[in-house]
Amino acid sequence: MAQPVIQPKWKTVEYSRSQIINAGKTIRQENSSEEDIKQATDIIDNWRAAHAFPLHVIYIHLRRMCASNNNAIVAERLKRLDSIIGKLKREQSMNLWTMQDLGGCRVIVPTIQDVYDYFGKYDKSSKRHLFKKKYDYIENPKVSGYRSLHAVYEYHSDKNETYNKNMLIEIQFRTHLQHVWATAVETMGLFTKESIKSGFGSDDVKRFFVLVSALIAKKEGQPLPPNVIDDQDEIVLEIEQLNSKHNYLDFLSGIRIAVDNQKLKGAKSSAAYYILILNYNTNRLQIKAFGASQIEEANEIYNSIEATRAETKIDAVLVRVASFNALRKAYPNYFSDIGEFVKLVKSYLK
C-alpha cells in the first residue's frame, strides 16, 4: 500500500500590514530598545517565512516551463534575515511591506535571447499573479556592473485568499556568463567580508568587477556598464593594472572549500531544500538537506543558524533546487567553483 504524501506545513502571515511596516521602521531607528528590536525581528521573520508558499508556487511553474531545456537552471531562495535588516538600514525610504525580493527565483539560461524568451514565456503563461515591474539591467547595467533582467510579481490565487497579502516575488533571468560574474563578486565579498555587490569594498576591487562585466557585455553584444570606455584594449589594460596591483585572480583561484557531505548520505536525490553553511575560519562548507515536506523544520534550523552567524563567523542560505547538481551550478560561490570566471578573464590578458 502506497504511503500518503506528507504535505509541507507552510507559514502564514501572523501580523497586520501596519505591524509589518512599523517593524521595518523600528529596525531602522537607532534608539530602539532591545525588546522592540526583538519583537520587530520576529515580525520580519514571520513575514519573510510566509513568502515560502508563494515562492514555491512560482518556482514550480518556472521549473515546468524550463523542463525541456537541459541547459536552464531554476533556483529559489528566501532573502536572508541579515540582508533584509541591512537593506532596511541602508535604504531609508524602504518599506518592509513593499520589499520586492523577500522571495526570489533565479532562471539561468545560455544566451541573451533565452533571457528575453523565457521572461516573455512566463509573463504570457496562464497565471493569476499580478505583474508589477520589470528592471532591465542588461539594457541598462547598474553602476556596479550587475547585469540581469528582473521581473516582480505579486502572488495571487483565485481559490485561496490566505497568501493574497501583497506578497512580492522577484524573478531574475540571467545568462550563464552574467551568473559567472555575479557569483565571483559574491565569492570575493564572502572572503574579504565586504558586501561588494551592495556597494562596499575598495574602489579598486569594485572597478575590477565593473571592467570584467564590460568585457562580458561586449562578448554578449550588449550595452556596457556606466563609466567604461567602449574600447576593449583599454578595458583589458586597466584590468591588467588592477590585477597586477592586487592579485585578484590569484586570490580567487586560491580559495578552496572542503565540502562536508556527511549530512547528505542518501539524501541527494530526494532532497528539495538545502541549507548551505560556509565557515570563513575553516573554509568548510556544510550542507543540510531536507525533503519537500520539511520546509518548517528547515526554516527553524535556518533561523537558529542566522541568529548566531555573526559570532560564529559563518554565512548561510536556505535554497530550493531540483537536484544537488543544480544546487552546485546555481550557487557556485558556496562551492568556490569560480574557475570559469578566472579562466574567462585570463583569456583576455597578455
Q: Give the burial string for 5-16 (b: 16+ CB within 10 Å, else e).
A: eeebebbebebe
8, 17, 48: which is closest to 302 by C-alpha?
A: 48
> What is the average pLDDT across 79-87?
88
More confident residue, 295 or 230: 230
For residue 261, the model assigns a pLDDT of: 58
3 C-beta neighbours (distance < 10 Å), count: 5
More confident residue, 286 or 205: 205
Does residue 290 surpass a pLDDT of 50?
yes
Q: Residue 259 — pLDDT band, cuts 50, 70, 90?
A: low
C-alpha 195/C-alpha 225 separation (Å) is 19
Q: Residue 1 — pLDDT band, cuts 50, 70, 90?
A: very low
Burial of 257 (0-12, 13-18, 19+ CB in 10 A): middle
Q: β-strands 168-175, 103-109: how paired?
A: parallel
> What is the average pLDDT across 38-51?
95
> What is the average pLDDT across 154-171?
95
83, 76, 103: which is closest to 274 by C-alpha?
A: 76
> What is the average pLDDT across 324-328?
81
For residue 325, the model assigns a pLDDT of: 80
- Local structure of 133: helix, strand or coil: strand
Q: Residue 266 — pLDDT band, cuts 50, 70, 90?
A: very low
Report whether 99 contacts 84 (CB < 8 A).
yes
Query: Angle at Cα 294 formed by Cα 20 and Cα 307, nearest 5°?
Result: 50
Q: Tell me the pLDDT of the chain averaged across its residues.
A: 89
125: Cα within 13 Å, side-chain hemisphere: 16
> What is the average pLDDT across 266-290?
77
C-alpha 207/C-alpha 100 separation (Å) is 28
C-alpha 197/C-alpha 188 separation (Å) is 10
- Cell numbers 485568499 correspond to 161
Q: Which of 53-67, 85-99, 247-261, 289-303 has the lowest mean pLDDT?
A: 247-261
How far is CA 221 from each of CA 111, 138, 208, 226, 281, rounded to the nearest angstrom? 11, 10, 20, 15, 41
Q: Residue 267 — pLDDT band, cuts 50, 70, 90?
A: very low
Q: Residue 5 — pLDDT band, cuts 50, 70, 90?
A: very low
**Gyration radius (Cα) of the chain, Å:** 20
How far is CA 186 from each of CA 5, 221, 228, rounded to the nearest angstrom? 37, 24, 22
Q: Which of 30-34, 129-133, 153-157, 316-320 has the lowest mean pLDDT?
A: 316-320
Does residue 47 surpass a pLDDT of 50?
yes
CA dihedral 15, 17, 23, 25 (to 10 degrees): -170
